[in-house]
């Protein structure tokens, strides 16, 4: 890593600092991209670094400047006691920076991308390629792999963030108490042919697995099913009819042939309806899930996605469990909407959660497929009204698991999710075990950018009512400020909205308005920056700032200008959660 420290001398005394470059004396400054204003060529610089108390922030370093005195040394004095992070850095990744420089504000992608990490993408270089390609959130699915495997993925993503300045968030997805097949004794798949008789059993088998025999993880399976029931693998990819029950074994005839994949989901249907007997009583969070959640807390993941949520109660319960076990870190809970019960209790579940996922894989196995698109639309709209980020997931580019180009239908499906202005799109098998993870990501990226642009050009401002979501008067003020600022931004065609936010709330309120311009969200901690990376239109930066907006703005302008990310004359609207005001200004 190269050490790049740039020293500048103030050449005029306007509040908007203008600096000229100075050769800098030998120093032991840490390797980081530093812009360092001083009034005159300094004689010496040294740095004292101490570890940060918050593991998410950079170690704090004291910059000690000794000026030669000419020019009064005002700025040097002012900054000399600030930390390196304060003076020097604004944290943003190189990809965003290059995108802003090359293509300007308008072309930045607003829709975020979640990539499921699996054997095809778990290496450091592969993860880096995904981050470079625009991955905002890495998802690990606890249905698969060992905790050691997941831990190594988390460590690699962390390393990537630290070394390359990315803010890729980690989402841990629980297994949940779904009924699924066993792991096929190590085989990658098994083919079921039309008319074949297969045995589904709750017995555990010694390996090798007996021919045409599948283990089922749910003990009540043989009791719950009845002769004549239809058994659907992965929501109908393969179908069987139950023909006989013998103790723990259920004999089935294959009626729709296909490939059985390890740990594939199982549902059974009677007279055209999903059977929800005792399996509906299974806990949302299984004993294994609790251990995985403890693992997620210990690893400091940013999001936990809860599979098969049935009610708000389980979310509230988990929230208090997490709150009791973490001090300053906040883990956001994403409710996966993938069961009939979650649709029934949709509003209360979303209200209790920090976000939701339209988990179309299992949802499509629980409700008729033709009902999935309207359910998606409803969930996306409700999330926006309640100001919760929403992810559209599963089979977006399914054919790209095997082929390098998507089908036209898949592109249309992705476009629809972007047009609905979901916060994020998710890749599952495409990135976890497909042959073309980077290509799939590139398709999501290019389709998103194109559809967003089309939407702006067509000025498709839908008149969506955004109801008040807060509970205090101060919340209402924040909401009004954000709604007005977003509207002003559209009417005045400003280049960017700036938001200074400590916990991210004001940033999410602006994102909810889906304005035409990108939203630069400045936040003081790396963890909030990562969390904001899931939300529509937000470009999160980590920056230390104060309660003095004037100084925050000047500092931001100099830092962003110095890196070529904004230029004089750009029109900006700024809001903050410290000072309830809207400021409109041209970058000096
Ligand atoms: N950690 C992992 N280890 C091995 N395979 C994985 C892992 N994560 C995902 N996969 C593979 O990618 C596929 C798609 O991932 P995902 O959609 O998350 O799971 P599922 O298909 O079980 O819902 C899985 O079926 C599995 O084959
Ligand atoms: C995202 C989903 O959940 P999982 O991949 O964990 O089954 C889904 O069912 O669509
Ligand atoms: K899962
Ligand atoms: Mg699922």
Q: Tokens in use for 538? A: 């937000």
DSSP state of 216: B
Is any ligand 1 atom within 6 A of the Cβ of residue 118? yes
Q: 370 vs 206, which has greater pLDDT?
A: 370
Question: Are the beta carbons of 520 and 541 closer than 8 angstroms?
Answer: yes
Confidence at 10, pLDDT banded by 50, 70, 90: very low
Is any ligand 2 atom within 6 A of the Cβ of residue 366? no
pTM of the model: 0.84
- Worst-scoring range by mean pLDDT, 71-85, 266-280, 388-402, 423-437? 71-85
Q: Which CATH superfamily is domain 473-576 in?
A: Pyruvate kinase, C-terminal domain (3.40.1380.20)
C-alpha to C-alpha distance for 490 and 26, rounded to whole angstroms? 48
Is any ligand 1 atom within 6 A of the Cβ of residue 144? yes
Provide the mean pLDDT of the chain.
84
- pLDDT exceeds 80 at position 426: yes
- pLDDT exceeds 60 at position 28: no
C-alpha to C-alpha distance for 304 and 332, rounded to whole angstroms? 6
- Going from N- to C-terminal start, the domains of the chain cover 109-177+284-452, 180-281, 473-576
**Cα(431) to centroid(ligand 1), Å:** 9
Mutation probe of ligand 2 site: the residue of 172, 173, 235, 364 with most atoms within 8 A of C-beta: 173
Question: Are the beta carbons of 292 and 301 closer than 8 angstroms?
Answer: no
C-alpha to C-alpha distance for 374 and 162, rounded to whole angstroms? 41
Q: What is the pLDDT of residue 464?
A: 66
Q: 465 vs 581, which has greater pLDDT?
A: 581
Is any ligand 1 atom within 6 A of the Cβ of residue 433? yes
- Worst-scoring range by mean pLDDT, 55-64, 142-151, 539-548? 55-64
Atom of ligand 1 nearest to the CA of 149: 1
Tell me what the mean pLDDT of segment 283-288 comes to.
90
Q: Indicate the angle between helix axes 312-325 and 287-299, nearest 10 degrees.
A: 40
C-alpha to C-alpha distance for 261 and 182, rounded to whole angstroms? 9
Is any ligand 1 atom within 6 A of the Cβ of residue 116? yes
Nearest CA to ligand 2 atom 2: 359
Q: What is the pLDDT of residue 461?
A: 64
Give the bridge partners for 35, in sequence order. 6
109-177+284-452 shares its CATH topology with 473-576:
no
**Cα(46) to centroid(ligand 2), Å:** 52
Class of domain 109-177+284-452 (CATH, top level): alpha beta
Radius of gyration of the chain (CA): 27
CATH of 180-281 given 3.40.470.10, 3.50.50.60, 2.40.33.10, 3.40.50.920: 2.40.33.10
DSSP track, 44-64: EEEEEEE--SSTTSPPEEEEE
Mutation probe of ligand 1 site: the residue of 265, 428, 435 with most atoms within 8 A of C-beta: 428
DSSP state of 395: S
- This complex has an ipTM of 0.98
SS3 for 270-308 is: ECCEECCCHHHHCCCCCHHHHHHHHHHHHHCCCEEEECC
Q: What is the pLDDT of residue 253?
A: 97
Q: Tokens in use for 478? A: 């924040």
- Worst-scoring range by mean pLDDT, 35-39, 183-187, 513-517, 531-535? 35-39
Is any ligand 1 atom within 6 A of the Cβ of residue 259? no
Nearest CA to ligand 1 atom 8: 118
b vs e for 73-87, b when ≥16 Cβ sit within 10 Å of the residue's Cβ?
bebbeebbeebbbbb
Mutation probe of ligand 1 site: the residue of 114, 115, 117, 118 with most atoms within 8 A of C-beta: 118
């Amino acid at each position: 890593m190269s050490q790049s420290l740039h020293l500048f001398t103030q050449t005029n005394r306007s509040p908007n600092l203008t600096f000229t470059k100075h050769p800098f004396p030998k120093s032991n400054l840490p390797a980081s991209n530093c812009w360092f204003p001083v009034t005159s060529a300094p004689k010496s610089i040294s740095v004292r670094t101490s570890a940060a108390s918050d593991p998410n922030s950079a170690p704090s370093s004291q910059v000690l400047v000794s000026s030669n005195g000419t020019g009064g040394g005002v700025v040097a004095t002012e900054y000399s006691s600030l930390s390196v992070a304060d003076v020097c850095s604004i944290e943003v990744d190189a990809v965003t920076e290059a995108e802003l420089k090359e293509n300007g504000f308008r072309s930045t992608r607003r829709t975020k991308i979640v990539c499921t990490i699996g054997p095809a993408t778990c290496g450091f270089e592969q993860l880096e390629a995904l981050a470079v390609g625009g991955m905002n959130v890495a998802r690990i699915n606890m249905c698969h792999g060992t905790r050691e495997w997941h831990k190594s993925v988390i460590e690699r993503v962390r390393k990537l963030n630290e070394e390359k300045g990315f803010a890729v968030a980690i989402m841990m997805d629980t297994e949940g108490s779904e009924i699924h097949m066993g792991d096929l004794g190590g085989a990658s798949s098994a083919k079921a042919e039309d008319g074949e008789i297969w045995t589904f059993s709750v017995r555990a088998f010694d390996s090798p697995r007996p021919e045409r025999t599948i283990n089922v993880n749910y003990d009540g399976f043989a009791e719950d099913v009845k002769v004549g029931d239809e058994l659907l693998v992965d929501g109908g990819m393969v179908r069987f009819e139950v023909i006989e029950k013998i103790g723990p074994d259920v004999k089935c005839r294959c009626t729709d042939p296909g490939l059985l994949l390890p740990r594939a989901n199982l549902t059974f249907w009677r007279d055209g309806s999903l059977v929800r007997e005792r399996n509906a009583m299974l806990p949302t969070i299984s004993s294994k899930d609790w251990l995985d959640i403890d693992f997620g807390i210990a690893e400091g993941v940013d999001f936990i996605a809860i599979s098969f949520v049935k009610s708000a109660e389980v979310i509230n319960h988990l929230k208090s469990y997490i709150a009791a076990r973490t001090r300053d870190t906040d883990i956001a809970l994403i409710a996966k909407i993938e069961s009939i019960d979650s649709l029934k209790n949709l509003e209360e579940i979303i209200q209790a959660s920090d976000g939701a996922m339209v988990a179309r894989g299992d949802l499509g196995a629980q409700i008729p497929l033709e009902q999935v698109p309207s359910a998606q639309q409803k969930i996306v709209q409700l999330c926006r009204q309640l100001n919760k980020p929403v992810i559209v997931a599963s089979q977006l580019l399914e054919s790209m698991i095997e082929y390098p180009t998507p089908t036209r239908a898949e592109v249309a499906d992705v476009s629809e999710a972007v047009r609905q202005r979901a916060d994020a799109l998710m890749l599952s098998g495409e990135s976890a075990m497909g042959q073309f993870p980077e290509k799939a990501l590139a398709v999501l990226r290019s389709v998103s950018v194109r559809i967003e642009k089309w939407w702006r050009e067509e000025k498709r401002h839908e008149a969506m009512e955004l109801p008040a979501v807060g509970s205090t008067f101060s919340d209402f003020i924040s909401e009004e400020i954000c709604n007005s600022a977003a509207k002003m931004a559209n009417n005045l065609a400003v280049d960017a909205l700036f938001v200074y936010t400590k916990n991210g709330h004001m940033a999410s309120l602006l994102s909810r308005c889906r304005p035409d311009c990108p939203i630069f969200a400045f936040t003081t901690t790396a963890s909030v920056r990562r969390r904001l990376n899931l939300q529509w239109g937000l470009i999160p930066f980590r920056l230390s700032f104060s309660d003095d907006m004037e100084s925050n703005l000047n500092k931001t302008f100099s830092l962003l200008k110095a890196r070529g990310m904004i230029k004089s004359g750009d029109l900006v609207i700024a809001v903050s959660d410290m000072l309830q005001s809207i400021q409109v200004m041209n970058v000096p």
